[in-house]
Amino acid sequence: MEERYNIYFAGQVLEGCDRSSVRDKLAKVFNADQATLDKLFSGKTQLIKRDCDQATALQYREAMERAGAVPIVKLIDTAAATTKTAPARTMTAAEKIAALAAAPDTSLYSSGASGASSQALTQAAAPEPGGIALAPAGTEVLREEERPAPVIREVDTSGLAMDTAAKRLSEAAPPPPAAPDTRHLSMADAGDIIPNLPRFTVPLSPVIDGLALSAPGTDFSDCAAPEPPALQLDLSALAILPPGTALLEEQYRNRQHGAAPSTDHISLTE
C-alpha cells in the first residue's frame, strides 16, 4: 500500500531567515490571507495538507523550505486509518472547514528531514487531529452537485464570414498632401510691418456733420464750469475758547511728561 503523509506547520522558520519575510513568502505560496497567516504563526501546530503521497509531500516540504519555513511531515498510520468507522453521511466543504477550525492540532510531531526517500520523512505514532488545511492553488473545493451549472449561450453567427488572412477591414487612408513650396518666402526682421497683410479690424466712421472748428484765438471761457455756490454753515452753536483751555476732562488727560533731553553736548557748525 502506498504511504500517505500529512504536512503541518508550527510557525518555526529556518535559521537565518526573517520571520516577516517568511510570512510574506508563505502568503504567496499558499495564497493565504492575513487571518490564515496569523493562525499559522500562532505557535500551534496547524495542518497544511492532509493525506498526500510521497511526491506531493516532498513538493510541499521543498516549497516551504524555499520560503524559509520549517515543515512538519508525518507519515499516516494507514492500518489505524482503515479501522476507523465510516461517517454516517458525507460532510460538505463548509462543514469540514468548520470542524477543522474547531479542533486545533495539539499533538506532538517531528520535523521533516532532508532527503527524497520515505525513510527520511519523520514518522509519528499518534493519529492526526483536526486543523486547517491549505489545498494547492486550483484545487476544487465544491463537490460536483454543489457547483453551478455552466451557462451555454447560443450566438447566431450566420451573418458572419471569415475573410482572407491579412486583409484590411477598412479602406486605406489617402496619402498626405505634398508640402507647400516655400522657396519664394523670406524671413523679415522682428517688428517689421508685413505688406499686403489683410486687417480684420473694422474702421470707425463717426458722424461729424454737427461739428465745426472755431477760429484760432477763440475765447472758450464761457464754456468753463460755473463756480460752486458757497456753503451755508450754521455755526451759531459753536464758540471759540481762550488759548490754553484744556479740551479733555481731568480723567482723560495724560499729565506724565518726560524730561527734556540734554543738548549740552550738541553744537552747531558751519
Find the mean pLDDT for residues 108-121. Answer: 38
Quick one: pLDDT at residue 177?
92
pLDDT number for residue 115: 38
User: Is position 9 within any domain?
Assistant: yes
Q: What is the pLDDT of residues 33-53, one digit of tens each?
A: 888 888 888 888 888 888 888
| Residue 215 maps to a domain | no
**For residue 196, is it within any domain?**
no
In a domain, 235, yes or no: no
Inside any domain, residue 175: no
Q: Which one has a higher pLDDT value, 137 or 160?
A: 160
* pLDDT attached to residue 133: 63
Answer yes or no: is pLDDT of 130 > 70: no
pLDDT digits (tens, 9 = 90+) for 236-266: 888 888 888 878 787 777 766 677 888 888 8
Share of the chain above pLDDT 70, in %: 77
Q: Per the domain annotation, does 154 fall within a domain?
A: no
Q: Look up the domain containing 74 and give its range.
A: 5-136
Instruction: Give the position of cell 477760429.
Output: 215
- The answer as to whether 67 is a domain residue is yes
Round to whole Å and give the CA distance between 221 and 229: 19
The tens digit of pLDDT for each residue in 5-29 reads: 898 988 888 888 888 888 898 888 8
Mean pLDDT of 209-215: 87
* Domain membership flag for residue 132: yes
How many structural domains is the chain composed of? 1
Q: Is the CB of residue 131 less than 8 Å from the CB of residue 104?
A: yes
Range from 119-133, 135-149, 163-177 carrying the lowest mean pLDDT: 119-133
CA atoms 125, 139, 70, 63: torsion sign? positive
Percent over 90 (pLDDT), the chain: 4
**Average pLDDT value for residue range 178-182:** 92
pLDDT for 113: 37
Q: Three-class SS string for 4-39?
A: CEEEEEEEEECCCCCHHHHHHHHHHHHCCCHHHHHH
